[in-house]
A and B are shown apart, each in its own frame.
Chain A
């Protein structure tokens, strides 16, 4: 039975999640790179929106949510949306059209490969990016999405909780981002040339749009205009604010000045960490999750990354991989049935078993993502080469990959 209130909210949420990729992510990452690479970086977000929108309709949705095959993948029965109609599919939601569920999920499939682009920014060949993204969405995102959310998926059957995609979206993209950073190698001059962000106002605009869109991401994952959506909405905003404050205060203490880039990064880390938990935790738990992720992600980005000296250029792993993993584990601590009867209690509410389930989920998704991402990168490298030539990297990707410039010298 279709409910018009639920349908209205999920239509709205779909548009909000779309906004996270372009302009949200495009501006967030675009401002962080050097001026010669801003268009190429924004292009990666814009392009993934177009590419995966089509992939999802042709085969992505069927692989992710289609009829189960051995608990690991959907069948190809729903390719081209065959059999996906206006009638609700009760396995996913009984009050909105199945087609609406499909397009809402499309926007999650779109943003996930987009997040990885932060790891190989400023040096990846565009053709390699396009091929890698299509393969990665099909062979990493779609199967993992099926495990966790698809009817019959093995992690869903096991009771792993992932309200809005902490594991499906952030752990997959974050850990794959680390593999990309390691396989592609550092940018030329990394470590001895300054590479400051070229336009922080763009980044702040992008981060704020991400925060705004995240209400659709998390509160929309209630799949209805319900009390649960309200809980998720509040948890989302609360964790973002707590993590941003935490990050800025750590900076104030450690480097002498709070920065707005730190605030924006902290907010995104908070949003990442609350994603799996948002439909299961109270506002006070959300504050604690925000504070925890602020500390952990700051350490990963400002201490551990510098010690290990890998070039995760825009911190896709440091924020999404680390924050997503932490969020999935903290869900195992802070979840409570009082908020969501369909969920479970975590360790702090008398059920230590959930933490183990969450751990298995994260570990399996990480192992799978690392292995497949590594193989895909090797394949793409053999076909077209992953990196642009050195001289093109110096000139910049805007000119060499797209023959455009963001900023002219005169006028």
Chain B
């Protein structure tokens, strides 16, 4: 089992979700996030004063998958999120120790699907 955490551009969320749907990956968590990469945030100007280092609005997408779904999930995210510009985001993948469905008490691979 793997946990995929993707930090993506907010305006690409719809594209990614439809790519994931095509691969029949439906279970996910989405939240608003702030962050920045090499561009070190954005500059905003208030009354002529530059405010540097304001974090960028990002979306954080979390998906827990069984190993055999990992590659298709990653390719769906990359396909939906990529524009080729700086700021497209990152995908992190970690091993997932366990997963429990609260309603039934199922554990592990069964609980993820």
The one of B47, B52, B53 in contact with A302, judged by C-beta atoms closer than 8 angstroms, is B47
Say how far B56's CB is from chain A's closest CB, in angstroms.
13
User: Is the CB of B109 closer than 8 A to any CB of chain A?
Assistant: no
Q: Which of A196, A254, A259, A265 is the one whose CB lies under 8 Å from B51? A: A196
- The docked-state distance in angstroms from the alpha carbon of A49 to that of B44 is 34
Name the residue among B45, B46, B47, B53 with the largest chain A CB count within 10 angstroms: B47
B47 contacts A265, CB within 8 Å? Answer: yes
- Is A255's CB under 8 angstroms from B45's CB? yes
Chain B residues with CB under 8 A of A122: none
B32-47: CB near A (< 8 Å → 1, else 0) gives 0000000000001111
- A261 in contact with B47 given A194-B54, A196-B54 (CB within 8 Å): yes
CB-nearest residue of chain B relative to A255? B45
B55 to A, closest residue via Cβ: A194
Provided the pairs A194-B52, A194-B54, A196-B54 are in contact, do residues A301 and B44 lie with their beta carbons within 8 angstroms? no
Measured CA separation A197–B49 after assembly (Å): 12
User: Are B44 and A196 in touch, CB under 8 angstroms?
Assistant: yes
Complex: how many Å from CA A301 to CA B46?
Answer: 10
The winner among B48, B49, B51 for most chain A CB atoms within 10 A is B48
B48 (CB) vs chain A CBs: closest residue? A302
Contact at A261–B48, with CB atoms within 8 Å? no
**Contact of B52 with A301 in the complex, beta carbons under 8 Å:** no
Whether B48 lies near A301 (C-beta < 8 A) is yes
Q: Interface majority SS on B: helix, strand, loop or mixed?
A: strand
- The number of chain B residues touching the other chain, given as a range, is 10 to 19
Q: Which residues of B contact A51 (CB under 8 A)?
A: none
Please name the residue on chain B nearest to A193 by beta carbon: B53
Contacts of A149 in B (CB 8 A): none
Kindly state the separation between the CA atoms of A196 and B45 in the bound complex, as whole angstroms: 9
Residue A8 at the B interface, CB < 8 A? no
* 8 A Cβ contacts from A242-264 to B: 251, 254-255, 257, 259, 261-262
Say if the beta carbon of A364 comes within 8 Å of chain B. no
Is A306 in contact with B48, judged by CB distance below 8 angstroms? yes
Given the known A-B contacts A194-B53, A194-B54, A196-B54, are A262 and B44 also in contact in the complex, defined by CB atoms under 8 Å? no
B37 to chain A, nearest CB (A): 17
Q: How far is the CB of A164 from chain B (nearest CB, A)?
A: 25
Interface string of A258-281 (1 = CB under 8 A from B): 010110010000000000000000
Let me know if A12 is at the binding interface, CB within 8 A.
no
Q: List CB contacts (< 8 Å) of A286-311 with chain B.
A: 298, 301-303, 305-306
User: In the assembled complex, which residues on chain B have CB atoms less than 8 Å from the CB atom of A301?
Assistant: 47-48
- Minimum distance in angstroms from A248 CB to a CB of chain B: 12
**A315 interfacial by beta-carbon distance below 8 Å:** yes
The 3 closest A-B pairs by CB, nearest first: A302-B48, A194-B51, A196-B51
Q: Can you name 14 A-B pairs with beta carbons within 8 Å?
A: A194-B44, A194-B51, A196-B44, A196-B54, A251-B48, A254-B48, A255-B48, A257-B45, A259-B46, A261-B46, A265-B47, A302-B48, A305-B49, A306-B48
Show the binding face of B for A, using Cβ within 8 Å: 44-49, 51-54
